[in-house]
Amino acid sequence: MVIYLKAGSELRLKLNPDVDFYTRRVETEEGKTLREILKDIRLAPAFVAFAYSEGRIFSLDRAPRDGQSITLQPPVSGG
C-alpha cells in the first residue's frame, strides 16, 4: 500500500520529499505502524513531535490505511 507523509521546516529535509515540496510517497506493508514506517525510511521517530491526519492527532503506534496522508509535526522550542 501507499501512504503520503508531509513535513515542513527542518523535518522536511530529513523526510526527503519526492511528490511535491513537502510530500513523500511511501510504499509500505499493511498493518505496519507509523513508527515502523518511519524507521523503514530512516527517519528517526524522535524527530517527530507528533503526527496529524484528517483533523486529529495520529498516534505513531497506529497503522495507517492505504492512501492516507499524514503530516509530521517537527519539535520546536516554545515562544
Partner 1 sequence: MGNGLAGTTLRINLKTSVVRRLPTDEALFRRWHGGRGITAKLIYDEVPREADPLGPENIFIMNAGVMSGAFIPAGSKVSFGSVSPLTNGHGDSNMGGHLGPALKFAGYDLVVFENIAPRPVYLVIDDERVELRDASKFWGMKSLECEKALKDELGEDFEVATIGPAGENGVLFSCITHDFGRQAGRTGQGAVMGSKRLKAICVRGSKSLRVHDLPELRKQVTEIMLRTRKHPNMEPWQKYGTAFFIRWSNDNAVLPTYNFQTTHYEDTDKIDGDQLVTKLLVTHKACFGCWMNCGKYTKAVVPGKPAVYLEGPEYETGALCGANLGMKDIHHVAYINWLLDNLGMDSMSGGGVVAFGMECYERGLITEADLEGHALRWGEVDDVEHFLDMIAHRRGIGDWFAGGTKRAAQKIGKGSEKFAMQVKGQEMSGYDGRWAPGMLLSYMTADIGAHHNRSWTITVDMAEGRERIAGRAKIVIYLQHIRPLFDTWCICRLFWGELDITPEEIVESLNHITGWGVGVDECLRTSEMIWNLNRCHYLERNRANGRTFDYPPARSWEDKIPSGPGKGKGLTREQIEEMLDDYYDERGWDRRGNPTRALLEDLGLGDAADNLEKIGLLGEPLPGGIPKVRGEKYKPKAF
**Contact set with partner 1 (CB under 8 A):** 6-10, 12-13, 21-23, 44, 46-47, 49-50, 52, 55, 57, 71, 73-79
- Minimum CB separation from partner 1 for residue 35, in Å? 11
3-state secondary structure of 71: strand
- Minimum CB separation from partner 1 for residue 27, in Å? 20
- Minimum CB separation from partner 1 for residue 66, in Å? 20
**Buried b vs exposed e over 30-49: b needs ≥16 C-beta within 10 Å?**
eebebbebbeeeebebeebe
Burial of residue 11 (number of CB atoms within 10 Å: 0-12, 13-18, 19+): buried
Nearer to partner 1, 59 or 65 (CB): 59
Nearer to partner 1, 22 or 28 (CB): 22
